[in-house]
Amino acid sequence: MARKKIALIGAGNIGGTLAHLAALKGLGDIVLFDVVEGVPQGKALDLSQCGPVEGFDAKITGSNDYADIAGADVIIVTAGVARKPGMSRDDLLGINLKVMKAVGEGIKANAPDAFVICITNPLDAMVWALREFSGLPHNKVVGMAGVLDSARFATFLAWEFGVSVKDVNAFVLGGHGDTMVPVTSYTTVSGIPVDDLVKMGKSSKEKIDAIVARTRSGGGEIVGLLKTGSAYYAPATSAIAMAEAYLGDQKRILPAAVHVDGKYGLDGLYVGVPVMIGAGGAEEVIEIALDDEAKQNFQVSVDAVKELLVACRGIDPSLA
Ligand code: APR
């Protein structure tokens, strides 16, 4: 059987880490694409030279030509810029929308059968725009945010309870940003809901509330420390888990930004919900019962995503 092909659009910090992980995990041959000349080629050469040490034969190439992503099975998009000091949200939206347009058209022309995972921020708006520009079916274009947000939540909870991260199953809904909704009633340690652990005296409501707040601003905390960039190891790992779920038809239930039409009272909006990922892409949105507080918080998150889409349509009328 021919090796699978993984195309990474954007060869920056996350793109390079994605390529490293995909090679180590033997997901397939890898193409790193970027608009900057030399960077994808240089990273590809460096990564290829890991092969003899790690024992992988994946072909890793760098390119500035969309023709080289032809036939990709999975495409992970990190192209774009991160918000810099002094840049308004609309400035960022305007820049990354243009990038999504170029990327969407490149995918449409060269790899229309791929499963596409978008990471570029602001995530919920960019994944929607990328789907619009690429014209791919909704189930084949998803956004990576929930796996990362849940991983952040799980990390902090494991530290708080003094347990293995393997036993923490964290649940996060909504948009990627300040309005994300970590749901403690569905978050468990070996099946025991966090709310019950609080009742058992293993932690306090105040401490869990602080962890929820820290999870919500998890990306910002890292930007504050790095100063010149944003998180990339955990975002890359999270997207690779989604790619593996698709390539291996694993039917994993993962939180992801997917097109929700008819569930959660939504009529065609990209937002973070639990979804089954398998060979069909985003195969089924799982609708869970939410208590009043989670429902209210989810609505705030949905409204924030809708507001972003209005701004996108204002910037690029072709999206109207
Ligand atoms: N096409 C392809 N690549 C592009 C384009 C474009 N039109 N515009 C910019 N790029 C490339 C840049 O040249 C750079 O190599 O995208 C890459 C982005 O890499 P980094 O700046 O290192 O950013 P990274 O940390 O990888 O994050 C990428 O993911 O989490 C989000 O907010 C983050 O939107 C950002 C994205």
Nearest CA to ligand 1 atom 25: 13
Helix 292-315 with 123-134: angle, nearest 10 deg: 50
Q: Which of these, 139, 140, 195, 148, lies nearest to 175 by C-alpha position? A: 148
Tell which atom from ligand 1 comes closest to the C-alpha of 16: 26
* CB 78 near ligand 1, within 6 Å: yes
Q: How much of the chain exceeds pLDDT 70, in percent?
A: 99
Ligand 1 within 6 A of CB of 28: no
Mean pLDDT value across the chain = 95
The response to whether residue 115 sits with its C-beta less than 6 Å from ligand 1 reads: no
What DSSP state is assigned to residue 176?
S
In this predicted complex, what is the ipTM? Answer: 0.98
> Is residue 143 marked as binding?
no
141-191 pLDDT per residue, tens: 999 999 999 999 999 999 999 999 999 999 999 988 788 899 998 999 999
Quick one: pLDDT band at residue 8, thresholds 50, 70, 90?
Answer: very high
Query: Does the annotation mark 259 as catalytic?
Result: no
Minimal-distance CA residue to ligand 1 atom 19: 12
Q: Please, how many CA atoms are within 13 Å of residue 272, restricted to the half-sphere of its CB? A: 32
Q: From atom 2 of ligand 1, which residue's Cα is the shortest distance away?
A: 34
Question: pLDDT tens, 60-112?
Answer: 999 999 999 999 999 999 999 987 776 777 788 999 999 999 999 999 999 99
Q: Which residues fall within 8 angstroms of residue 296, CB to CB, at 6 or more apart?
A: none
Q: Is 181 exposed, middle or buried (0-12, 13-18, 19+ CB in 10 A)?
A: buried
Q: Which two tokens stand for residue 233?
A: 């190891």
**Could you identify the atom of ligand 1 that is nearest to the CA of residue 231?**
25
pLDDT in tens, 281-310: 999 999 999 989 889 999 999 999 999 999
Alpha carbon 181 to chain centroid distance?
Answer: 16
- pLDDT above 80 (res 14): yes
> Cα–Cα distance between 300 and 173 in angstroms, integer?
11
**What's the pLDDT score for residue 90?**
74
Q: Which helix (H) or strand (E) holds 96?
A: helix 89-110
pLDDT tier at 320, thresholds 50, 70, 90: confident
Report whether residue 45 contacts ligand 1, using a CB cutoff of 6 Å.
no
pTM of the model: 0.97
Compute the distance between CA of residue 170 and CA of residue 255 in angstroms, rounded to an integer.
10
Q: What angle do CA 29, 102, 26 make, to 5 degrees?
A: 15
Q: Distance (Å, rounded) from C-alpha 283 to C-alpha 241?
A: 16
Q: What confidence score (pLDDT) does residue 121 get?
A: 92
Is 10 labelled as part of a ligand binding site?
Answer: yes
Mean pLDDT of 23-42: 98
